[in-house]
Structure 1
Amino acid sequence: MSGLAGIVLAAGISSRFGADNKLLADYGGQAMVRGVVEAALAADLEPVIVVTGHEADDVRQALSGLDVDFAHNADFATGQAGSLKTGIAAVPQACTGAMILLADMPAVNVAIINRLVGEFADEACIVVPRHEGKRGNPVILGRGTFAGLEKTSGDRGARNLLAGDNVRMIDIDTDAVLRDFDTPESLQDH
């Protein structure tokens, strides 16, 4: 194993998607969140931790039967940073880092995940996918960078950590690392 945990951020309200929870929307014949979690489980990540928040019971139901750990972010409405901190707090001490996967990016597949895992060097390392010059997701944070997350708030996620010399930008030949689904129209266009 890689020594990396997988953290799937699945707590958001998805307000731009309308009344429905986009993570429960159909993508490839199943709930979008389930496809992301299945890719994480099939990749070189262990354990896979799913951070819930908005409609937590429905998200858990969509993932029934999968071997995942859950961490609940009661303050999910304050933005992604709280969910990121909740997930990081659940990472076992034995893990050298964690890959942060967004539950609304179902086009990120096992091959992409394992390519990024293969680029992870050490606990001080951050691995970021890039497509045509644009930073994408998922991102790997080495354990040595976890403390830097204390300064994050709102929807900023880990962006404040991505400017150091320890960041490895990895070119990926697909826009899957950039594509999320924020509206019902974007989902229809996939």
Structure 2
Amino acid sequence: MMNPFSELSCLCLAAGRSSRMGYDHKLLKKIGGISVIEIVVRQIMDIPFGEVIVVTGARADEIREILEPYPVRFVHNADYGNGLHSSLREGVRATRDNVGFFICLGDQPFSLSERLRAFAEMELNRASLIRSVVTGIPGHPVLVGSNYKDEILAAFDRDSGASYLFQKYDFETLEQPEAALWDLDTPEDFARYGSLKPLTE
């Protein structure tokens, strides 16, 4: 059976300052003894992507050390303070000339493998633009075909990532579990979701 993911890249955006967490950095905080960013990357590695790129920014050395055992490529965004799009652009610039790429967030560790596998039922090509939704509410991951790479590289920095593409172009949606909306941004988020098990043993 053909692997629909082999010609795709996966970008894991892990560059933010985590300012809403206070002293703790959300990606370094642990759930069940494992840091959030490792939980995310471990699930990404369950999918046979052509390549996995982790975009770092704040606390880059610590994140790289945690992920050293995994066969990922690191790209550092020195301008991570300019918003999510600056990290997206650095990740896109590093991708190979392939069919397209997924965008995953480093602070969404729940049911990620399941959410990624759901895309296997969709038609994945250079013109694909597919957004995860939960009863119509936008979530992650999203799939962006390589036809849009030049536009992303030319766009201004903003905190909205690739959402402007979905405002400008026709796109498909993929219904996902509620975990597609669960960001771990604040201590309250960790209190709400931290007792859940993001990994299946």
If the length of structure 2 is used for normalisation, what is the TM-score? 0.89
Residue correspondence of structure 1 range 65-84 to structure 2 within 5 A: 65-84=69-88
Determine the C-alpha separation between the residues in 2 that align with 1:117 and 1:154.
Answer: 30
| Cα offsets for 1:37-91 (capped at 9, x unmatched) | 1111111322110000101001101112111000000101111111000000111
Cα offset for 1:117? 4.1
- Please, which of 111, 119, 142 is the counterpart of residue 139 of structure 1? 142
- Which residue pairs with 1:13 in the alignment? 17
CA distance in 1, matches of 2:159, 2:56: 16
Q: Matched residues in 2 for 1:5 and 1:82: separation?
A: 18
* Mapped pair 1:27 → 2:25: no
Letter in 2 for 1:84: L
How far is the alpha carbon of 1:183 from its aligned partner?
0.5
Q: Distance in 2 between matches of 1:12 and 1:88?
A: 17
> Partner residue of 2:42?
38
Look up the match of 2:104.
Answer: 101
Which deviates further from its counterpart, 117-126 or 73-82?
117-126
Question: CA-atom RMSD, angstroms?
Answer: 1.3
Q: 1:175 to 1:46 in 2, by over 3 A?
A: same
Contact persistence 1:101–1:137 (CA under 8 A): yes
Which residue in the other structure is 1:128 paired with?
A: 131
1:72-112 Cα deviation digits (max 9, x unpaired): 0010111111100000011112x210000000000142121
CA contact (8 A) 1:79 1:154 kept: yes
In 2, Cα distance between equivalents of 1:75 and 1:59: 17
Runs of at least 5 residues in structure 1 that lack an aligned partner in the other structure:
none
Amino acid at match of 2:172: R
Equivalent pairs counted in the alignment come to 188
Quote the offset at 1:164 in angstroms: 4.6
The equivalent of 1:53 in structure 2 is: 57
The equivalent position to 1:187 in structure 2, one of 162, 187, 190, is: 190
Separation in 2, partners of 1:109, 1:44: 14
Q: Deviations over 1:109-131 (max 9, x none)?
A: 21210112432431011111111
Distance in 2 between residues matched to 1:69 and 1:117, nearest whole Å:
23
**Alpha-carbon separation, structure 2, partners of 1:47 and 1:188:** 33
1:87 aligns with 2:91: yes
Moved over 6 A (4+): none
Q: What CA distance in whole angstroms lies between the structure 1 residues aligned with 2:174 and 2:48?
A: 17
| Distance apart, 1:141 and its partner CA | 0.6
TM-score by length of 1: 0.94
- What secondary structure does 1:16 align onto? helix
